[in-house]
Amino acid sequence: MKIEGSVVIVTGANRGLGAEYVRQLLDRGAAKVYAAARNIESVSNSEAVPVKLDVTSQADIDALVQTCGDVTMLINNAGAIVGSRILAENALENAKAEMETNVWGPFNLSRAFAPILANNGGGAIVNVLSAVSWMSIKDAATYAMSKSAAWSLTNGLRLELARQGTLVVAVHPAFIDTDMAAGVDMPKTTPHQVVERTLNGVEAGIPEVLADDTSAFVKKSLPNHIETFYPKVAAPRP
């Protein structure tokens, strides 16, 4: 689909990657960009339309559907990371919090907006996932769980929404240079690159966007060389 003339809602649009999505969408000629955030006063782009949204609130989602009936693209960008090991003391609470935002948020928003997208010609849903959709990190294992689930959700949506002409795009970045990864001492991709590759992918009709070299490496390597990431996995008994 074309970005020019589109009407887009971006969740988590007040900072970081979300704010960059808003900026580039407007630069590419989107007719309207709804910038969704819990606190609409935190949306600084004066050309966007601020709308209140906590992605974990069904009441907020229902209100948004009534306000944004002209949407042709939904970008599920809002995300949460607590950073927890599976056996950490508060792992269950941490995992639930991450799943609420990273899985059930896109799940409920996509279900709510799918009929609107159908009525408006099909459009697109973009889910911002992660390189850890395909692997895990010990100190952020619950976050990786949520992104793996969100990847499966994305694949399921793609199958269901194909008949109404809705493009469903999975975006996989590694570490991005935003506040969320401020404490990570690793190479980081710029928000500009992630968004640019995403929007190029949407316009090209590509269902999966590898936002950086790390994600491309993980996707290429994991299926055929799982020992690269899990070298001590025991072989099955004969």
Question: Which residues are annotated as catalytic?
Answer: 143
Alpha-carbon distance of 136 to 146, in angstroms, equals: 11
Residue 110 tokens, joined: 């996509």
CA 56 to chain centre: 15
- Extract the tokens encoding 181: 């990864």
* Separation in Å, CA 227 to CA 130, 139, 232: 20, 19, 7
Element (H, E) at 52: strand 49-52
C-alpha distance from residue 34 to each of 3, 43, 62, 111, 219 (Å): 14, 10, 15, 18, 32
